[in-house]
């Protein structure tokens, strides 16, 4: 039986560098398209695998995309300008990669090809107090990043034969590390600075380990027929935490870590919501990594990584 062929755009990024080997280990043939704009070498150890192919190029290149799509069963468009600060620095780039490239993909892909898309639960923006955001809650993004990903999700779901995952804030070590993500950043500060100043520490959000994101995509492929046509919140049910609560968790493992909530000043990231992940849990998916696991992992990772050279800002 021929292996299913997967195309991952942006497959050498923070999520892709974990997802690509996960899919290969799960028995898929994987082609990665990436610009390698961060000069990362995260996929080098996969080059010996005959089921791995890699192409240096841009997901906005129509001729290249048409050629790459020809024999693929599943398309996972990870390529994006990720995060509110980076999108604000390059709005034209964010528009062309986060939205226009998705329009191009849906134009070029056949209706028989399955698309699995990672969006962000930051589309919920500012939720209602103590009310869980479900997939039926209104999307009210508070950043261009959030609105661009929400628009891309709409395009993909309207196209059909697709699944979207509304990712919680990711954490955990990846070969293409990102230290600007909230948990990763706070643990880095705990390890090296021993302190952090928090703005609007009561703001809450949900979290998910990068490896559990990769596992969710494998689960989605394996259960595509019953899951297709819907968005799925993807996060830890027990991790709808405020920044203060996150700091307390880190402090349990690094007792010398101190945190102070600023009496004045604002966080430019206004997201504040709690999220229900009941829909994906009902399909049989279950995350394997807790926040505590991730904190332990990151402490080890920062024994290796000494300088903050990784981030999307």
Q: Residue-wise pLDDT tens for the chain (313 aa)?
A: 789 999 999 999 999 999 999 999 999 999 999 999 999 999 999 999 999 999 999 999 999 999 999 999 999 999 999 999 999 999 999 999 999 999 999 999 999 999 999 999 989 998 888 899 999 999 999 899 999 999 999 999 999 999 999 999 999 999 999 999 999 999 999 999 999 999 999 999 999 999 999 999 999 999 999 999 999 999 999 999 999 999 999 999 999 999 999 888 777 777 899 999 999 999 999 999 999 999 999 999 999 997 656 666 6
The answer to whether residue 153 is domain-embedded is yes
How far is CA 42 from each of CA 113, 226, 241, 259, rounded to the nearest angstrom?
27, 33, 31, 33
The answer to whether residue 260 is domain-embedded is no
The answer to whether residue 62 is domain-embedded is yes
The answer to whether residue 20 is domain-embedded is yes
Closest CA to 123 of 183, 184, 156, 168: 168
Q: Which domain holds residue 105?
A: 5-171+207-235
pLDDT score of 130: 85
| Cβ neighbours of 25 (radius 10 Å) | 11
Q: What is the pTM of this model?
A: 0.96
The answer to whether residue 240 is domain-embedded is no
Number of domains in the chain: 1
Three-state DSSP at 119 gives strand
CA dihedral 154, 158, 163, 168 (to 10 degrees): 10
Pairing of strands 240-242, 204-209: antiparallel
DSSP string computed for 197-251: EESSTT-EEEEEEHHHHHHHHHHHHHTHHHHTTSEEEES-TT-EEEHHHHHHHHH
pLDDT score of 271: 85
Which H/E stretch holds residue 31? Answer: strand 29-34
The answer to whether residue 12 is domain-embedded is yes
How far is CA 263 from each of CA 201, 240, 250, 267, 273, rounded to the nearest angstrom?
10, 23, 22, 12, 22
CA-to-CA distance for 138 and 198, rounded, in angstroms?
Answer: 28
pLDDT score of 308: 59
The answer to whether residue 303 is domain-embedded is no
Structure-token pair, residue 268: 């430019």
CATH of residue 31: 3.40.50.720
The answer to whether residue 47 is domain-embedded is yes
Structure-token pair, residue 112: 């028989």
């Amino acid at each position: 039986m021929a292996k299913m062929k997967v195309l991952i755009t942006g497959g050498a990024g923070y999520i892709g560098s974990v997802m690509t080997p996960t899919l290969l280990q799960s028995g898929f043939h994987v082609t990665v398209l990436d610009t390698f704009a961060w000069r990362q070498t995260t996929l080098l150890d996969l080059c010996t695998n005959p089921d791995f192919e890699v192409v240096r190029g841009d997901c906005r290149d129509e001729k290249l995309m048409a050629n790459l799509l020809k024999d693929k069963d599943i398309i996972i468009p990870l390529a994006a300008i990720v995060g509110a600060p980076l999108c604000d620095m390059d709005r034209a780039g964010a528009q062309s990669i986060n939205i226009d490239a998705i329009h191009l993909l849906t134009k070029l892909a056949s209706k028989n090809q399955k698309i699995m898309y990672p969006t962000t639960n930051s589309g919920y923006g500012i939720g209602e107090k103590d009310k869980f955001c479900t997939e039926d809650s209104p999307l009210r993004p508070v950043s261009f990043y959030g609105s661009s990903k929400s628009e891309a999700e709409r395009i993909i779901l309207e196209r059909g034969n697709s699944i979207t995952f509304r990712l919680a804030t990711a954490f955990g070590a990846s070969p293409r590390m990102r230290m600007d993500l909230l948990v990763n950043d706070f643990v880095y500060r705990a390890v090296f600075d021993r302190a952090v100043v928090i703005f609007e520490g009561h703001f809450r959000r949900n979290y998910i380990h990068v490896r559990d994101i990769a596992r969710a995509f494998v689960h989605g492929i394996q259960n595509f027929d019953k899951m297709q046509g819907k968005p799925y919140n993807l996060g830890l049910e027990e991790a709808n935490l405020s920044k203060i609560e996150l700091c307390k968790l880190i402090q349990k493992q690094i007792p010398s870590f101190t945190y102070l909530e600023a009496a004045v000043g604002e966080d430019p990231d206004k997201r504040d919501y709690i999220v229900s992940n009941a829909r994906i849990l009902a399909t049989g998916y279950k995350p394997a990594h807790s926040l505590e696991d991730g904190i332990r992992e990151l402490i080890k990772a920062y024994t290796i990584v000494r300088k903050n050279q990784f981030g999307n800002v």
